[in-house]
Every structure is written in C-alpha cells, then in structure tokens.
Amino acid sequence: MDYDVAIIGGGPAGLTAAIYTCRAGLKTGVFESGIIGGEAASTELIENYPGFPNGISGLKLTENMATQAKKFGAEIITDRVVTIEDNPFPKHDGYKIINTNSGQIKAKAIIITVGTRPKLLNVTGEKEYKGRGVSYCATCDGFFYKNEKIAVIGCGNSGIQEGLFLLRFVKEIEFVEFLPQPTAEKVLLDKIKKNKNVNFHLNNKLISINGDGKSISYIKIKNNTTNETKKIAVSGVFIYVGLKPNTDFLEGLIQRDKNGYIIVDMNQNTNVIGVFAAGDATIDTVKQITTAVGSGARAAINAEKWISENKEN
C-alpha cells in the first residue's frame, strides 16, 4: 500500500496530524501497534484539555480524535513498524520505505508520533510480579484491588492523579516518593490530601517488592537520609516514576538525545529529510496532550508543504 503520509503512532499527536493531512488531500495511513489513543486513552479523567470544563475521560477524548481522523479519510492500521529506510526523495518513485510486521509500506513523508511508555524501576520483584500485583495503569487494574491496601510509587502528576482514581476502589494507599517533596500540581495534592486513607513516605526509595511468588504481601523502602529500611504490607503496587520514549526502532537513523527522545527543529523536522516527529517522543520538555496535538498539527502542515515542494515535474 502506498501513502502520501505514513504516521507511526496513534496517540493524540498522530491522530491530530492525520486530521490535518487528510484535510489537505493527502492519502494518510496511521500505524498503531497498541491501543488507539496511546497513554492518554488510559487516563481516567483529563481536566486540563481546553473545551471540557467538567473534564473528559482520556478514552473518550482519543476515541473522538480517531473518529474525526477517519471521517476525513485516515486509514488506521493495527501493525507494528519495525524499521524505516532513509531513501532520498524521489528514490523508489518518490516514496520512503517503512517495514512493518505485515510487510513493506511506501510513503512520500513520514510523521513519527510513537509516544512513551512507563519507565521501569528494575527493583527486585518488579519483573516477577508484573501483571500479578505490579501495575502501571490504575484504570486498567484498579478494580482488582477493591478494599485492599496498595502502594503507589511516585508523587508526580501521574502518581497522584492515578491515586485519586484508585481511591474509588482501594481501602488505603501508601505513597512512596524518592524526592523530599511531591512534584505534582498543587490542585492534585490538595485533592489527595483531603483523604484520610493516604500516607506519604517522602525521601524514600523502593528497594523491593516481596511476596510468595504468586502474589505481593509487602514492599521494602529505604530512607535516603537515615538509610533506615521499612516494610509496608500491601497487596498491589502501582508504579509512576517517569516515561521512556518508544523510539528504539529508530536506532542508527533518527537522531535522538541521551534519553531516546527524538531531536526536532521548530518545524518538527528530524535529521532525515521528509521525516517529521511530534508528541511526547520528541525533545519537547512539556509532555501534555495540548502540546502533543499542537506539534502534531505543525508536523502535518510542514509534511504537506514538503511534499508539495518536492513533487516530481
């Protein structure tokens, strides 16, 4: 299948880019190997996206984006992109090459919007109990811990926001934060502190997640100042310690920073001509849906301009 524009990633940035490229009359394919909407789709309530004064679920918001993109003609394909090839325009009849699990795709321009995934702590027990007590998604797994005591690792926006959702189900939450103070927005901290069934362990590091091999029974934490260790009985652990960009497949082709984020200029150009990038996987320091959709629109506009300027005579 040949496309004018191939968008790799179906989160807010990619879906926004698809809306713009389709409205510009470009045949557009959106390739997503996971859930349409990306990480945003798993957020229970989004309160800072303009136009929704009462908030909106991440799933509903991204479903609306996908519906809008398809309305204008975007094709959403469930497939994983393995590699892309740097073929100078107009080599291969003016198309770049994209290799997926299902075969080879050709496109005149590529927009990379692969987003991020939760970062692992790599502590003892994390890998062993993943999916059996260790989770990175409150909306996915919160229901399974009804009336139980759990731990949330990380007191940034994600940790506190997901903790607020978990309080619908759990009996008690033990928050563990490596830094001396939480880094979440004041409005979120004010909300969580209104609850009597939350406890904070600041300036503490998670050392291990422990159990009987089948389920979790406790975590062990260590105070960064005193080196004192403590056991806390919990039946589940939700980890929110940052994100990692899904850019490993670009190794050796697209320039990235030391953390794997794609380096782009103000027009969302990568170091490869005709390949653009947008959203949370780029070096933009603000990781918000609003900034993702903005950069997605900018990438689409510049991709259309690049295709137009490089049409074969």
Alpha-carbon gap, residue 227 to 197, rounded angstroms:
26
Does the annotation mark 140 as catalytic? yes
Does the annotation mark 137 as catalytic? yes
Residue type, 162: E
Answer whether 208's CB lies under 8 Å from 122's CB.
Answer: no
In the structure encoding, which two tokens stand for residue 299, read together?
Answer: 């990438």
Alpha-carbon gap, residue 186 to 201, rounded angstroms:
18
Answer whether 249's CB lies under 8 Å from 81's CB.
Answer: yes
Alpha-carbon gap, residue 44 to 35, rounded angstroms:
15
How close are the terminal C-alpha atoms of the chain, in Å? 23
Does the annotation mark 248 as catalytic? no
Name 172's Cβ contacts closer than 8 Å, sequence gap at least 6. 149, 150, 197, 198, 199
Counting DSSP H helices and E strands in the chain, the numbers are 7, 17
Cis amide bond preceding 90, omega within 30? yes
Alpha-carbon gap, residue 106 to 171, rounded angstroms:
53
Candidate list 2, 79, 86, 137, residue with the active-site label: 137
Pairing of strands 28-32, 75-78: parallel
DSSP state string for 130-164: BTTTEES-HHHHGGGGTT-EEEEE--SHHHHHHHH
Candidate list 4, 141, 280, 284, residue with the active-site label: 141
Classified as helix, coil or strand, 11 is: coil
| 255-to-88, 117, 175, 270 alpha-carbon distances in Å | 17, 19, 37, 7
In the structure encoding, which two tokens stand for residue 155, read together?
Answer: 């007191």
What are residue 209's DSSP bridge partners?
A: 219
Candidate list 140, 190, 248, 265, residue with the active-site label: 140
**What are the residue numbers of the active site?**
137, 140-141
